[in-house]
């Protein structure tokens, strides 16, 4: 597995630099080290936040990183990509009267210390001889694989892409997370004893039957698919938002940015695509959304950030056609919408206004309208819920011994990296208990 590939096809760098030592110590000393800390409760992986901050305050960065990793194996990614305003920092008791502690930046400070020095903080227990296959090396798969390896199980991760890391490597804008961070974490998981085989695809060169012969349990952490179809004329001239972000991070071919860019969608991915276009030189970037800013799924702080970047928003606009003249994309024709009664999603439906049409000039159109449901569900004949893989409370799918975690099961609530990491951790606990029970029965037999 190659883990030293350099980041940054386009020169986009992390928005925030590392905290200097003086600033980190000052920030750590501001923490009240609350008993039963609300920040820890608000973290989906329940990191002992006052615990790791206390260690930073005494300059024990190795101990601090260990505290973080005990709860969250992808602490360096989460330090960068978590919506901390909505989670730990949003719950910090200093928030309402003062400024919340910069928990994300302190976490990054401790994690960067160990990755910059290539320190392997955690070590596996004695081998159990039990074998588990994990499909997909995104945050859910790596977290689960690492937690199982720590308990001594022999884990192989099969990943269809060239590099491990899932969306942390390919999908999260470099302004938030450079590729190196995702790869350093995958390397740390590999050093726990996990074998990561890239270029291996379940449903391609691997079959479930084969895996079940060699492994006692199989975990699917396959994430979701590409952007769905818009279903409008001229769609073949519309770029996929996920590929757009990917090309800005890891492409080896030149990445072209339009002069006038229109991004369709109103979630965080749309804002990421618009930001990439803007930062890489587009003169005008417009986000087009069929409802209003009140129904947008992007986080409020992301919306504010986008406006500060000079990104324009065109609300109540439904794309109708990507207009192409003499083979050249010239713009997006849209229907003017208004809000009607709530639809099945509970949000007001966007209803076209008769005769209301307009045109937005564009030489590049990007769609960022979510991701397709996991295709592997139908390939394997798995039961689904709203298109996502259905699992019981122990993450087991409709096929016994096959489990699923991460975005591919997230039919409710917001999909996020930290939720995927927590799924991996919880599933590892379930699998460990089952593997140990099997070990006990084998010994007694």
Q: In the complex, which residues of this chain contact ligand FAD (CB under 6 A)?
A: 81-82, 135-141, 158-161, 166-167, 171-172, 176, 201-203, 221-223, 242, 245, 268-269, 272, 376, 406-407, 415-418, 420
Residue 77's binding partner among ligand FAD, ligand SF4, none (Cβ under 5 to 8 angstroms by kind) is none
Residue 420's binding partner among ligand SF4, ligand FAD, none (Cβ under 5 to 8 angstroms by kind) is ligand FAD
The whole-angstrom separation of Cα 432 and Cα 412 is: 26
Residue 436's binding partner among ligand SF4, ligand FAD, none (Cβ under 5 to 8 angstroms by kind) is none
Residue 93's binding partner among ligand FAD, ligand SF4, none (Cβ under 5 to 8 angstroms by kind) is ligand SF4
- Among residues 333, 330, 331, which one has the least CA distance to residue 321? 333
Candidate list 23, 93, 324, 349; residue touching ligand SF4; CB under 6 A: 93
The whole-angstrom separation of Cα 385 and Cα 379 is: 15
Task: Find the shortest distance in angstroms from Cβ 82 to ligand SF4.
Answer: 14
Residue 268's binding partner among ligand FAD, ligand SF4, none (Cβ under 5 to 8 angstroms by kind) is ligand FAD
Per-residue contact string for residues 40-79; x = within reach of ligand SF4 by CB under 6 A: ---------xx-----------------------------
Token pair recorded at residue 360:
């937005």
The helix/strand/coil state of 4 is coil
Task: Find the shortest distance in angstroms from Cβ 155 to ligand FAD.
Answer: 14
Token pair recorded at residue 409:
């099961």
Question: Which position has the token pair 């966007």?
Answer: 350
Residue closer to ligand FAD (CB basis): 172 or 316:
172
Tell whether residue 101 is a contact of ligand SF4 (CB under 6 A): yes
Q: Which residues are within 8 A (CB) of 259 and not within 5 positions of it... i.e. 6 or more apart?
A: 282, 283, 284, 363, 364
Asked if 26 and 46 count as a contact pair (C-beta separation under 8 A), the reply is no
What are the DSSP calls for 156-195, one per residue? EEEESSSSSSTHHHHTS-TTT--HHHHHHHHHHHHHTT-E
The whole-angstrom separation of Cα 139 and Cα 221 is: 9
- Among residues 195, 223, 191, 182, which one has the least CA distance to residue 75? 182
Residue closer to ligand SF4 (CB basis): 38 or 356:
38
Asked if 317 and 334 count as a contact pair (C-beta separation under 8 A), the reply is yes
The whole-angstrom separation of Cα 275 and Cα 278 is: 5
Total of chain residues touching ligand SF4, rule CB under 6 A: 14
Token pair recorded at residue 263:
């991004």
Residue 137's binding partner among ligand FAD, ligand SF4, none (Cβ under 5 to 8 angstroms by kind) is ligand FAD
Residues between 3 and 42 with contacts to ligand SF4, criterion CB under 6 A: 31-34, 37-39
Task: Find the shortest distance in angstroms from Cβ 273 to ligand FAD.
Answer: 8
Residue 404's binding partner among ligand FAD, ligand SF4, none (Cβ under 5 to 8 angstroms by kind) is none
Residue 166: which region, alpha, beta or left (left: phi > 0; alpha: psi -120 to 50)?
Answer: left
Task: Find the shortest distance in angstroms from Cβ 287 to ligand FAD.
Answer: 14
Residue 39's binding partner among ligand SF4, ligand FAD, none (Cβ under 5 to 8 angstroms by kind) is ligand SF4
The whole-angstrom separation of Cα 29 and Cα 17 is: 20
Residue closer to ligand FAD (CB basis): 412 or 443:
412
The whole-angstrom separation of Cα 358 and Cα 329 is: 16
Tell whether residue 87 is a contact of ligand SF4 (CB under 6 A): no
Residue 5: C-alpha distances to residues 107, 143, 169, 180 (Å): 24, 22, 11, 7
Task: Find the shortest distance in angstroms from Cβ 72 to ligand FAD.
Answer: 12
Q: Residue numbers of the site for ligand SF4 (CB under 6 A)?
A: 31-34, 37-39, 49-50, 92-94, 101, 103
């Amino acid at each position: 597995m190659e883990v030293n590939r350099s980041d940054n096809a386009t020169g986009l760098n992390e928005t925030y630099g590392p905290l200097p030592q003086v600033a980190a110590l000052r920030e750590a000393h501001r923490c009240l080290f609350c008993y039963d800390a609300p920040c820890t409760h608000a973290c989906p992986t329940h990191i002992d936040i006052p615990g790791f901050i206390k260690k930073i305050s005494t300059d024990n960065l190795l101990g601090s990183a260990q505290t973080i990793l005990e709860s969250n194996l992808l602490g360096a990614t989460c330090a960068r990509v978590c919506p901390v305003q909505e989670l730990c920092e949003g719950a910090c008791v200093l928030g309402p009267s003062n400024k919340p502690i910069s928990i994300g930046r302190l976490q990054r400070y401790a994690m960067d210390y160990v990755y910059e020095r290539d320190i392997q903080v955690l070590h596996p227990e004695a081998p159990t001889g039990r074998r588990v296959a994990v499909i997909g090396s995104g945050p859910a798969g790596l977290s689960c694989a690492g937690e199982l390896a720590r308990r001594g199980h022999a884990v192989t991760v099969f990943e269809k892409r060239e590099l491990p890391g899932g969306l942390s490597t390919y999908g999260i804008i470099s302004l938030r997370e450079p590729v190196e961070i995702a790869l350093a974490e995958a390397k740390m998981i590999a050093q726990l004893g996990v074998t990561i085989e890239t270029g291996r695809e379940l449903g391609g060169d691997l079959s479930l039957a084969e895996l079940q012969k060699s492994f006692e349990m199989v975990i699917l952490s396959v994430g979701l698919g590409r952007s769905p179809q818009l279903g409008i004329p001229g769609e073949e001239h519309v770029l996929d938002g996920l590929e757009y972000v990917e090309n800005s991070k890891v492409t080896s071919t030149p990445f072209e940015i339009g002069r006038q860019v229109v991004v369709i969608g109103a979630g965080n991915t749309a804002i990421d695509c618009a930001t990439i276009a803007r930062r890489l030189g587009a003169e005008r970037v417009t986000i087009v959304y069929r409802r209003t800013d009140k129904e947008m799924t992007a986080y409020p702080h992301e919306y504010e950030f986008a406006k500060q970047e000079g990104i324009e928003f065109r609300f109540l606009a439904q794309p109708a056609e990507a207009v192409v003249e003499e083979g050249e994309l010239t713009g997006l024709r849209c229907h003017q919408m208004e809000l009607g009664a709530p639809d099945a999603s509970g949000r007001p439906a966007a209803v076209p206004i008769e005769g209301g049409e307009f045109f937005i000039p564009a030489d590049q159109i990007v769609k960022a309208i979510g991701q397709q449901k996991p295709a592997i569900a139908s390939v394997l004949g798995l039961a689904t819920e709203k298109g996502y893989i259905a699992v019981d409370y122990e993450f087991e799918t409709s096929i016994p011994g096959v489990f699923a975690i991460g975005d591919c099961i997230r039919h409710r609530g917001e999909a996020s990296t930290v939720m995927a990491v927590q799924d991996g951790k919880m599933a590892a606990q379930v699998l460990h208990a089952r593997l140990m029970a099997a070990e006990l029965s084998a010994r007694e037999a």
